[in-house]
Structure formats: structure tokens, C-alpha cells
A = this chain, B = another copy of it.
Amino acid sequence: VFLFYQSGIPEGNLILDEAESWHCVKVLRKKAGKTIHLTDGRGGLYEARITEAQPRACRFEILTRQFSARPPYSISLAVAPAKSGERNDWLAEKAVELGVDKLLYFVSHNSERVKLNKERVERICTSAMKQSLRPWLPSVGGLVSFAEILTAQADQRFIAHAGYPSSLFQVAEKSGSYLVLIGPEGDFTKDELSLAESNGFAPVSLGASRLRTETAALAAVQALVLKNL
């Protein structure tokens, strides 16, 4: 099964955008009359028939539509980007596959990377959504300061650090919105940890061993998904 992504289907947009059209018509060689599967990234899954197989603007008509309700929880991850661009790419891809809803980025005192290619992360998220057949497109935030990330809202907010005694899985409660802060390779500073705690973030660990940033992020997402099973 290949899943295409097209925003705005509920509002009547029945043309694949340029990149998706090209993939559909040129790469997969789909002709008019063929059935394709689409998501609008907002819970809708569609079976559609190609009406005009234009390589830059492929038109389709909807055959069936199916909406999935949002799960009763949502997971936001806020991470200090890793120095390695490749590890950041992995983090985004895997977090989406496992079920993240929002990816936020911040600069920490020990950050070795203070730039973020937001469009690149968005492309990876779209691709991972399609690959994993999920009908929800996660949102991506631009890089902000540590002070600003502390103002992000959620029902349950956590800061992850290897030294804390209680694990996220044990502390988190079922349902609602979650936000988990994941530190940079050099870890959060003591000041950052206490600032987060005084701003209402619950201190949690993600297991017994020292985890890389991207591994910590995935461990956090999977812990929250399993908590809500």
C-alpha cells in the first residue's frame, strides 16, 4: 500500500500537489482510472480514482472516505537538536512512526547545533506519516530559546534527565496532552533542570542507561504510547 498526502481534501482540493503528482504519474506510472490511497494529514483516509494523470497536477475523485478519531492523548517532544544532521533526521522519522504529534526544537546551553532546517524536518515527517500509514501529520516548530520552550503548554509536562529517580512511564498519567523535554548531547545544565522544575516540569528518567538524544526521544514517545494502550 502506498499512501499519498494531500492537504485540503475536505475543503475540496482534489489535485495532488506537484511533488505528489510527479511521484504518482511519473515514478509509479499511474494512469487515469487507477485507484490511489490518500490522507489529508488530519485524520482522513481516502480511496480515490485518478481522473487526469497530469505529471504536475494529478486530478482525482473521492471514492470512499474514512475518518479516524484522534486518540485521547497527544505527544509533543521538545528536543535540543543533535550535532549530527543524520541523527536529527532519524529522530524525526522514528518519532513520527511511533506516534509523536508535535516536534518542537530549542537551544540549550550545551547545544552544539543552533540551526534547524524546519522544512527538511517537515518533509521527513510527511514521508514518515505516509510510510507508516498514519492519517495525522505532526506539526513542527522552529528553533526557540530554552526560556521560550518552558512556556509551551500541555496537561503533563516533563523534563528528561538520566539522574532522576522516577521514570516517565511510571510518572505519566493516561490521556491528555504531554510535553517531554529532551536535552542535548552534553545534557541539560543544573540551572536548566531547576528552571524547568520551577516552571512545573516533572523530572523523569528514561531508563537505566545513558541514552543519546535521539534514542531518548524515541524511548519517551514509546513510553507514552504504551501508557495509553
Interface residues of A (CB under 8 A from B): 90, 94, 97-99, 131-134, 167, 169-170, 207-212, 215, 218-219, 222-223, 225-226, 229
Give which listed residue, B170, B207, B229, contacts A98 with CB less than 8 A.
Answer: B207
Q: A218-B222, A229-B167 are in contact. Are A97 and B209 (CB under 8 A)?
A: yes
Docked pose: A34 CA to B145 CA in angstroms = 39
Inside 8 A of A167's CB, which chain B residues have their CB?
A: 229
Please determine whether A212 and B131 come into contact, CB atoms closer than 8 angstroms: yes
Please determine whether A170 and B229 come into contact, CB atoms closer than 8 angstroms: yes
Docked pose: A94 CA to B110 CA in angstroms = 23
Q: A223-B222, A229-B167 are in contact. Are A97 and B131 (CB under 8 A)?
A: no
Please determine whether B212 and A97 come into contact, CB atoms closer than 8 angstroms: yes
Please determine whether A219 and B131 come into contact, CB atoms closer than 8 angstroms: no
Docked pose: A215 CA to B225 CA in angstroms = 14
Please determine whether B215 and A98 come into contact, CB atoms closer than 8 angstroms: yes
Minimum CB–CB distance from A56 to chain B (whole Å) comes to 29
Nearest B residue to A132 via CB reads B209
